[in-house]
Every structure is written in C-alpha cells, then in structure tokens.
C-alpha cells in the first residue's frame, strides 16, 4: 500500500492551547514558551486499511509517513533508521513469573535511539529551508545530529559537557560537525549554546525545544504497537529517562493510536533514573506539577545526567496519563545490569539502556510489576563505546 504522505495539519501548545502554523521553522510556543506538538488530520486516515498495509512497507520508521511531519518525500533524510528488533528475554531470575522483552535500539544508525528523533527533525529542517543547526548534547544526540546533517548537507554545531566520552566528540567531528566543549552538565551546555547562538541564525534542535524530534521518538510507540499486537502488547514499558522525549513520544503515539480506534489499552510507562540525578522520579513521588532542578547531579550514565529537563510538565503528564511511575537505581546496579544483559542475553547495552533491566528487579520486589505481566525494557543505545570493567572500577572508587 502506497503512503499518501504526511497528514500534518498544525502545531499546538498544550500549555496555553495556542495554534501555530507548521509551514515555517519554529521553536517553543511563541505565546508561552512551552513545547509545540505536531497535530494531524487523523480523520482522513482509514485506520484499519492503514494498519493492515503496514507490513508491505519498508522496515524503517518512515513506514508511518502519514503520522510523521515531513510532507515531501525528497526531503526525507534517512540512514535506514527504525524498526529495531524486540527480543524475548523470557523470564528473568530477579522477576519470577514476569515475561520480559527488550526493544533494542543499540543497532540503529549512530548507535542509539537518538537516530529516530534526528532523522525526522533534520528532514523537516531541510524541508523548511534551514541550513545551520546546533544542539547541546550528552553525546548520542550530538552524534545523531552530526550524521544526519552530513547526510542532508547541512552544517551542525554540537555543544558537549566536558565529561562526555571522548569517542562521542570524535564521532561528531568525523561527521563534519563543529564541537564546542562546555564545563558542567547538559544544563550548562544548553545555556552556553543558546547564548553563543543567539545571533548566529542557526536553529536550536534541543530536546522538546523544537516540535519534530518528539515525532521521531513517537515511532518507538508505533513500532511497539505493531511488533507486539493485541494481547502481546506489554503491560509496562521501562524507559531510561534523561530529557524525557521518549516518554512523551510514546505517550503521544498511544494517544494517536487510541484516537484512530486501534489501541484498546495503553502500557504503563516507568521513568528509570539514577539515584544521583532523578528529578523526574522525585517530582512523580512528590506529586509536583513540574520538575525542579537536581542539585549536585552525578552518574556514570551520561545520557541520564539531565538535572533540569525542559518541558518537564509534558514528561510527568506522559507517565501519569498511563498510570505509570518512576524508579531510581544506584550506579552499581546499572553497571551490573550491563554485564548481566551481555552475559545472560547477548545484548550490548549502554549504561542508560541497561538501567531498565536493573529497574525490573526492584519493581518486581516492590510489587509494582506483577507475576503474569509482560514487561518491555527499552535499550536506548549500544554498549560498544563503554568498558564495563572501567565502569565497575569507577563505581567502586579508588582502590
């Protein structure tokens, strides 16, 4: 079945209800500064026919063209991203009676789930005539922006915290991006980037500060729906949470599928964070309307070192709307999970991607995940840039 193309209609702010035209580049809501979201003409989609025809389409995220914002096929900038495998891990000893699956984005182009968001956002930027892009990043988003900008023949600048693994800065440079190193965390990198770029004319591709990266992340939920249909749909999804775009994207996917009459129930979303930087989990536990900055953030997982995520109201909304929750882990548990995934299951996972495996045991002990349930762990990135031995040594401290 051929795709009729994008059904994009407009952009909408869920904070102030502003409606913004989608025919020009735009960052946060011009009225209130919150995140804008792409809205589609869902009423124009024959949902049953669309669902039945998906299997005939190429196995990339672009199989969902109607629900993605790129309107002209010639603007699509792709490296073959999307449709990552779902692995059946069976029953994990630490969670007896629970069926466990893992969706593995570690094999995507550039080695992480960030390829999803950047493929869609860079394609849309190209379509809207942008030439120069920048992003503050803990590593993976910068690598993805660099690669897709190279593919689209656009210029990219990446602002990285000084503690970012050197291999990631090197990858950004190999793709032709400029790299600026900033002292501090992703929070300081973001502030420095926006100050430096204020008059440059370059477009900010930061998490939830532009409308289209979340649309790429939405494909995680669309793929889970397609790969685990009907009764196979997981009861819960455990997701490593830094900037939180994946949670927002999956919740948006499930919401749109529900509006199309294709989804009868929604998996519970669990935000997994390290105990040294857990602002989202803290806000969930305290019933906060938004996330407060985390003081003294620390963790061996660079992608989870986000002390003050932007648009935190939408992250909390994504979790709460699915009756989900949050869970924290210490770094030793995360590194142990990296080794267990490799030794037991043959899965290479980054510290971020391994965190859900560690969280599973804790949720099972606390009764928040129950026997007979199906739980999906989301591995967001490959473990290849990381040494488990070195991380174990780092969590033990000086000998």
Is the pLDDT at 4 greater than 80? The verdict is: no
Identify the band that residue 138 occupies on the pLDDT scale cut at 50, 70 and 90.
confident
Q: Check pLDDT > 50 for residue 180.
A: yes
Q: How many Cβ atoms are within 10 Å of 155's Cβ, its own excluded?
A: 16
Per cent of the chain over pLDDT 90 is 93
Per DSSP, the residues of 48-65 read HHHHHHGGGS-SSGGGGG
User: Which of 69, 47, 68, 70 minimizes the C-alpha distance to 1?
Assistant: 47
Q: What is the pTM of this model?
A: 0.95
pLDDT at 126: 98
* Burial profile 29-67: b = 16 or more Cβ within 10 angstroms, e = fewer: beeeebbbbbbbebeebeeeebbeeeeeeeebbbbbbbb
Q: End-to-end alpha-carbon separation of the chain, Å?
A: 62
Give the residue from 102, 153, 98 showing the smallest Cα distance to 126: 153
Can you give the pLDDT at residue 399? 41
How confident is residue 385, by pLDDT bands cut at 50, 70 and 90? confident
Residue 3 has what pLDDT?
Answer: 63
pLDDT for residue 351: 97
SS (H, E, C) 251-299: HHHHHHHHHCCCCCCCCEEEEEEECCCCHHHHHHHHCCCCCCCCCCCCC
Q: In whole angstroms, what is the distance from residue 280 CA to residue 311 CA?
A: 11
The whole-angstrom separation of Cα 297 and Cα 291 is 14
Give the integer Cα–Cα distance in Å for 90 and 99: 6
Average pLDDT, integer, range 144-158 = 98
Weakest-pLDDT range from 156-170, 276-290, 343-357: 156-170
In this prediction, residue 227 carries a pLDDT of 98
- Res. 165 pLDDT band, cuts 50 70 90: confident
For helices 331-345 and 388-396, angle between their N-to-C axes, nearest 10 degrees: 150
Q: Which residue has the higher pLDDT, 43 or 168?
A: 43
Mean pLDDT, residues 219-233: 97
pLDDT band at 292, cuts 50/70/90? very high
Q: For residue 364, what are the contacts with CB-CB under 8 A and spacing of at least 6? A: 94, 95, 96, 98
Examine the pLDDT at 397 and tell me if it is beyond 90: no
Question: Highest-confidence range of 160-169, 304-313, 388-397, by mean pLDDT?
Answer: 304-313
* CA 67 to chain CA mean position, Å: 17
Q: Which two tokens stand for residue 85?
A: 């495998």
Asked if pLDDT for residue 349 goes beyond 60, the answer is: yes
pLDDT digits (tens, 9 = 90+) for 98-126: 999 999 999 999 999 999 999 999 999 99
User: How far apart, in whole angstroms, are the C-alpha atoms of residue 158 and residue 170?
Assistant: 11
For 50-68, write each residue's pLDDT tens digit: 999 999 999 999 999 999 9
* Span 5-42, pLDDT tens digits: 999 999 999 999 999 999 999 999 999 999 999 999 99
Smallest CA-to-CA distance from 157 within 112, 108, 124, 194 is with 194
């Amino acid at each position: 079945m051929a795709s009729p193309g994008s059904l994009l209609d407009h952009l909408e702010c869920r904070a102030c209800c502003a409606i913004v035209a989608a025919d020009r580049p735009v960052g946060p809501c011009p009225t209130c500064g919150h995140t804008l979201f792409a809205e589609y003409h869902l009423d124009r989609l024959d949902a049953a026919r669309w669902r039945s025809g998906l299997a005939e389409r190429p196995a990339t995220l672009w199989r969902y063209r109607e629900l993605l914002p790129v309107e002209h096929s010639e603007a699509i900038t792709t490296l073959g991203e999307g449709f990552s495998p779902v692995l059946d891990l069976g029953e994990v000893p630490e969670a007896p009676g629970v069926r466990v699956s893992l969706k593995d984005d570690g094999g995507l182009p550039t080695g992480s789930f960030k390829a999803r968001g950047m493929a869609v956002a860079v394609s849309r930027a190209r379509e809207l005539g942008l030439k120069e892009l920048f992003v503050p990043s803990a590593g993976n988003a910068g690598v993805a922006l660099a690669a897709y900008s190279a593919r689209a023949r656009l210029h990219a600048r990446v602002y990285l915290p000084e503690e970012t693994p050197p291999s990631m800065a090197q990858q950004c440079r190999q793709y032709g991006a400029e790299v600026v190193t900033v002292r501090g965390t992703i929070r300081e990198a973001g502030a420095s980037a926006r100050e430096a770029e204020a008059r440059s004319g370059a477009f900010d591709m930061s998490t939830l500060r532009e409308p289209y990266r979340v649309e790429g992340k939405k494909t995680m939920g669309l793929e889970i729906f397609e790969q685990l249909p009907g009764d196979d749909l997981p009861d819960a999804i455990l997701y490593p949470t830094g900037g939180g775009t994946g949670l927002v994207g999956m919740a948006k996917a499930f919401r749109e599928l529900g509006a199309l009459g294709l989804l009868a129930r929604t998996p519970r979303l669990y935000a997994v964070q390290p105990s040294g930087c857990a602002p989202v989990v803290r806000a969930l536990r305290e019933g906060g309307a938004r996330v407060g900055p985390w003081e003294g953030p620390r963790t061996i997982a660079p992608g989870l070192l986000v002390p003050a995520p932007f648009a935190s109201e939408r992250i909390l909304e994504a979790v709460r709307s699915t009756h989900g929750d949050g869970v924290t882990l210490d770094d030793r548990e995360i590194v142990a999970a990296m080794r267990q995934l490799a030794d037991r299951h043959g899965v290479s996972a980054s510290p971020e991607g391994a965190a859900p495996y560690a969280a599973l045991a804790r949720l099972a002990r606390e009764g928040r995940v129950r026997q007979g349930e199906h739980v999906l762990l989301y591995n967001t990135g490959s473990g290849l840039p990381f040494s488990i031995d070195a991380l174990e040594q780092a969590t033990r401290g000086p000998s």
